[in-house]
Amino acid sequence: MKSTPLTEKHIALGAKMAEFAGYNMPISYAGIREEHECVRTAVGVFDVSHMGEFIVRGKQALDLVQKVTSNDASKLEIGDVQYSCLPNLQGGIVDDLLVYRLPEDMCAEGEQAFMLVVNASNIEKDWNWISKHNNYEVCMINTSDETGLLAVQGPKTAEALQPLTDIDLHGMKYYNFAKGKFAGIDNVLVSATGYTGSGGFEIYVKNEDLARLWDAVFAAGANFGIKPIGLGARDTLRLEMGFALYGNDLDDTTSPLEAGLGWITKLNKGDFNDSDFLKKQKEAGLSRKLVAFEVLDRRVPRHDYPIEDLAGNTIGKVTSGTHIVDVANIRQSNHPFKNSATSP
Q: What are phi and psi of 90, to 5 degrees?
A: -130, 20
What's residue 344's pLDDT? 33
Give SS3 for 171. coil
What's residue 338's pLDDT? 38
What's residue 203's pLDDT? 98
Q: Is residue 40 part of a domain?
A: yes
Do 26 and 155 have their domain in common? yes
Q: For the chain, report the end-to-end CA distance as a whole number of angstroms.
A: 36
Q: Is residue 64 part of a domain?
A: yes
Do 33 and 165 have their domain in common? yes
- Of the three residues 223, 239, 255, the one that is the final residue of a domain is 239
What's residue 193's pLDDT? 98
CA atoms within 13 A on the CB side of 194: 29
Q: Is residue 323 part of a domain?
A: no
> How many angstroms from the chain centroid is the CA of residue 160?
23
The Cα–Cα gap between 45 and 52 comes to: 18
Q: Is residue 198 part of a domain?
A: yes
- Of the three residues 78, 113, 145, the one that is the final residue of a domain is 145
Query: CA angle, 211 as apex, 237 and 107 as ends, to 5°?
Result: 85
The Cα–Cα gap between 241 and 335 comes to: 7
CB 18 within 8 A of CB 32: no
Do 141 and 172 have their domain in common? no
Angular region, 46: left φ>0, alpha ψ -120 to 50, beta rest: beta
Q: Is residue 335 part of a domain?
A: no
What's residue 296's pLDDT? 82
CB 273 within 8 A of CB 67: yes
Do 131 and 172 have their domain in common? no
157 sits in which H/E element: helix 157-161
Q: Is residue 165 part of a domain?
A: yes
CB 47 within 8 A of CB 6: yes
pTM of this prediction?
0.93
> How many angstroms from the chain centroid is the CA of residue 115?
13
Domain span including residue 216: 7-48+146-239
Q: Which residues pair with 97 in a beta bridge?
A: 84, 118
What's residue 34's pLDDT? 96
279-316 burial code (b ≥16 CB/10 A, e <16): eebeeeeeeebbebeeeeeeeebeeeeebeeeeeeeeb
Q: Is residue 42 part of a domain?
A: yes
The Cα–Cα gap between 308 and 171 comes to: 48
CATH number at residue 84: 3.30.70.1400
> Could you read off the pLDDT tens digit of each residue along the chain, which spans 344 residues?
999 999 999 999 999 999 999 999 999 999 999 999 999 999 999 999 999 999 999 999 999 999 999 999 999 999 999 999 999 999 999 999 999 999 987 777 889 999 999 999 999 999 999 999 999 999 999 999 999 999 999 999 999 999 999 999 999 999 999 999 999 999 999 999 999 999 999 999 999 999 999 999 999 999 999 999 999 999 999 998 889 999 999 999 999 999 999 999 999 999 999 999 999 999 999 999 998 888 888 788 888 888 888 898 998 898 888 876 565 554 444 443 333 333 33
CATH number at residue 18: 3.30.1360.120
Do 210 and 96 have their domain in common? no
Do 39 and 158 have their domain in common? yes
Domain count, the chain: 2
Do 110 and 191 have their domain in common? no
- Of the three residues 145, 166, 200, the one that is the final residue of a domain is 145
CB 174 within 8 A of CB 310: no
The Cα–Cα gap between 91 and 110 comes to: 35
Do 118 and 140 have their domain in common? yes
